[in-house]
Amino acid sequence: MNKKALSAPYLFWSALFIIVPLCMVFYYGLTDKSGAFTLQNILAIARAEHAKALWQALLLSLGSTVLCLLLAYPLAMILCSMRTRQHSFLVLIFILPMWMNFLLRTFAWLTLLEKTGVVNNVLSFLGLPPLNIINTPSAIVLGMVYNFLPFMVLPIYNTLAKIDQNVIAAARDLGANGVQTFLRITLPLSVPGVISGITMVFVPALTTFVISTILGGSKILLIGNVIEQEFTQTGNWHLGSGLSIVLMMFIILNMVVSAVTDKDGEVNAL
């Protein structure tokens, strides 16, 4: 039995459904309606409305990536320190919510964040000023953090869990205090996880159109919204593909940065 032949179905499948479709995006993006080569669809990113959408998307996705990192790192450390039943706990926190549709979960934030909603009731009970962030960029960032936090926690958790406890013990023996051990041992060793987490949060956040539609009240257009409209409403596939190519450049840039920093080369998905 030739084992290699077993990869044939996947090779065929990935050629047809991964490689060819990507080539088509490039074909559409680099041609106009008559089929002639053009760079217009890509340069269209410089048009005011597109540039603004891209800028907004970059700002919001960078913001939510930083927030995710700040929230996720301590969480991953805590999860690592509790050895008992941690596995079922991880599932409970991150996998289980996925069984409730993510559109609905995002939509539920509208109810929570309303002027007289649950969050504001709690805030006024605590004597704090109300939060009016529905249909603002802040609500979109909240939606991004909410949806993509697991993608930051899991890779960081995986690298932290792999750190040899003896290394940390050695650092302590050699006189480092807790902060020093963290800064000079734990943090550097967890960089691959952090990088992979950043990639996994930044890309979906940069390209989302769903979260901005639901929580931004369709007033805030991100680059994802613009592309989605080109395909489903305006019907200008060439322009839509051109803008997608621009988007992919950011993704590739992100991947190159993470490939350079992560010497292992293997993408640790979950």
Q: Which of residues 120-179 bind another protein (CB under 8 A)?
A: 146, 149, 154
Q: Is 185 or 227 the residue whose CB approaches another protein more closely?
A: 227
246, 55 in Cβ contact below 8 A? no
The distance of closest approach from Cβ of residue 173 to another protein in the complex, given in angstroms and rounded to an integer, is 21
Q: Which amino acid is at 29?
A: G
Per CB under 8 A, the list member of 62, 163, 168, 210 interacting with another protein is 210
**Between vectors from CA 133 to CA 130 and to CA 138, what angle results, nearest 5°?**
130
Q: Does 74 bind another protein (CB under 8 A)?
A: yes
- Interface pattern 24-43 for another protein (x via CB under 8 A): xx--x---------------
Q: Is 46 or 95 the residue whose CB approaches another protein more closely?
A: 95
DSSP code for 5: G
Sequence length of the chain is 270
Q: Residue 245 contacts by C-beta under 8 Å, 6 or more apart in sequence?
A: 25, 26, 29, 30, 41, 42
Handedness of CA 95, 96, 99, 105 (dihedral sign): negative
Q: Which stretch binds another protein (CB under 8 A): 19-27, 33-41, 46-54, 179-187?
A: 19-27
Q: Which stretch binds another protein (CB under 8 A): 104-112, 132-140, 165-173, 185-193?
A: 104-112
Per CB under 8 A, the list member of 69, 112, 131, 134 interacting with another protein is 112
Q: Rg of the chain over CA atoms, in angstroms? A: 22
